[in-house]
Amino acid sequence: MAPIIQIVKLTKKFGNFTAVDHLNLEVEEGEILGILGPNGAGKTTTLLMLTTVIKPTEGTALIGPYDVTREPDKARTLIGMAFQEPKLLWVDAPWDILNWHAKVCGLSAEERKKKVRWVLEELELWNDRFKSVHTFSGGMRKRVEIAKILIQRPKIAIVDEPTAQIDIVGKHRIWNMLRDLREEGSTILLATNELYEADVLSDRVAIMHRGKLLVCDEPKKLKDNIPGGDVVEITLDKAVPKETIEKLKEIRRVVNVSAIKEDYLKIYLNNAEEVLPKITEFFMEAHIPIKSIRMSEPSLDDVFAHYTGLTIEEAQRE
């Protein structure tokens, strides 16, 4: 099946600054693709080009069968976007904003009434539906913004940092609503700089930095592909001889072993779930009883650091 989004050499320059640099990416129908990167990585610019809000300097993207540069009107019929910064006027009230959005997306009066009420109740905005957004907190405004997508239920939903400024309970509620949206057949493009959000929500994660796509794959594969990305910390009942450590290094997928103390080792390896039984067996055969084992997986931050040499935080500061 052809991908629902095909991005080909997509480039956007603002004067001498290249915000997005020859981006190539395909998005499969029905998947949640997380676009991860620090602020300024080019995520939002990419999304704005896909929604035809800004025009590419070079390259293009196909939204379903429609080219964003040649058939932007048709491309927009498949897309709905929740922006990073809520796009609301101070005189607006949530009820009017969402009603108008539903209307412009072609929902009938009956559907509008039903869906607007549903989403306002789900996002705990029902009691404030006629209040001016001027009086709202950042989190409430953000909920109004995300509500547009939830009412529209587009073929392709583009969400830019959907849970920024939202409390943890609200985050989980929105994540579940996005998952439901996907279950109903929407493809979701999620731009975020929150590692956990990208990890728990995305089927695949595309990592961007300085306008370029560094890598795109399933979160687990990305983490597994970092050499020595998994860490197993083992405390043993007695000191481990140097030759045993050397033999331990010979186990397949073990990248490095560091003796923090005589009886405490840090083993850097890939695919820890597969290798861990071999390690326990190794120590049993060596007659060195294990007191405790602690395993930690690499995070997407480690993946980002692997490709850029910087953590996301460092890249943000940069």
Closer to another protein by Cβ: residue 155 or 247: 155
Q: Which helix (H) or strand (E) holds 8?
A: strand 5-14
Q: Is 146 in the site for another protein (CB under 8 A)?
A: no
In angstroms, give the least distance from the CB of 52 to another protein.
7
Closer to another protein by Cβ: residue 144 or 208: 144
Q: What mask of x and - would describe binding to another protein in positions 80 to 119, judged by CB under 8 A?
A: xx-x-x-xxxxx----x---xx-xxxx-------------
* Contact window for another protein (CB under 8 A) among 70-78, 164-172, 222-230, 274-282: 70-78
Q: Is 73 in the site for another protein (CB under 8 A)?
A: yes
Q: Can you tell me the distance from the alpha carbon of 227 to that of 162, in angstroms, rounded to the nearest whole number?
A: 32
**3-class secondary-structure state, position 233:** strand
> Using CB under 8 A, which residues numbered 258 to 297 contact another protein?
none
Q: Is 17 in the site for another protein (CB under 8 A)?
A: no
Asked if residue 231 lies in contact with residue 264, where contact means CB atoms within 8 angstroms, the answer is: no
From candidates 11, 18, 46, 51, binder to another protein by CB under 8 A: 51
Q: Can you tell me the distance from the alpha carbon of 300 to that of 177, in angstroms, rounded to the nearest whole number?
A: 23
Shortest CA distance to 94 belongs to which of 112, 121, 120, 122?
120
From candidates 59, 63, 64, 76, binder to another protein by CB under 8 A: 76
**3-class secondary-structure state, position 134:** helix
Q: Angle at the Cα of 135 (from 140 to 106), degrees rounded to 5? A: 55
Q: Can you tell me the distance from the alpha carbon of 87 to that of 101, in angstroms, rounded to the nearest whole number?
A: 12
Q: Is 1 in the site for another protein (CB under 8 A)?
A: no
Total residues interacting with another protein, rule: CB under 8 A:
27
Q: Is 70 in the site for another protein (CB under 8 A)?
A: no
In angstroms, give the least distance from the CB of 79 to another protein.
7
Q: Is 147 in the site for another protein (CB under 8 A)?
A: no
In angstroms, give the least distance from the CB of 206 to another protein.
21
- Strands 230-236 and 212-217 come out as unpaired
* Contact window for another protein (CB under 8 A) among 74-82, 165-173, 182-190, 309-317: 74-82
Closer to another protein by Cβ: residue 12 or 223: 12
Backbone angles phi, psi at 102, to 5 degrees: -60, -40
Q: Which helix (H) or strand (E) holds 291?
A: strand 290-296
The region that residue 186 occupies, defined by phi over 0 for left and psi between -120 and 50 for alpha, beta otherwise, is beta
Q: Can you tell me the distance from the alpha carbon of 37 to that of 219, in angstroms, rounded to the nearest whole number?
A: 14
Q: Which residues bind another protein (CB under 8 A)?
A: 48, 51-55, 72-73, 76-77, 79-81, 83, 85, 87-91, 96, 100-101, 103-106
